[in-house]
Amino acid sequence: MQAVAIKKSSGEKTIGFQDMGTLRCDGCGEEFFIGHNQKSVDKSVAEKQAKWLEKVLAEEHERDKTHSDRIELPD
């Protein structure tokens, strides 16, 4: 796994991942930590992943689906 978004409220540990920032869901305010595998840290990729994650979270609200604690991000 190269990159992951982890819901901050889950309490899940992020060992082995470099903190690339936090994204807040516009729909519910839930915050997600975006982390990259320490061997593949890339700020420009993290920015694209944040945009992708925003769309996924919005779609989940449209479908009345709850957010997962952990979401694997595309490369």
pLDDT tens, residue by residue, 3-44: 999 999 998 877 889 999 999 999 999 999 999 998 889 999
Domain ranges for the chain: 3-72
Residue 1: the pLDDT is 66
**Amino acid making up residue 39:** K
Assess whether pLDDT exceeds 90 at residue 75: no
User: What phi, psi does 23 have (nearest 5°)?
Assistant: -120, 135
pTM value? 0.91
DSSP letters, 42-67, are -HHHHHHHHHHHHHHHHHHHHTTPPP
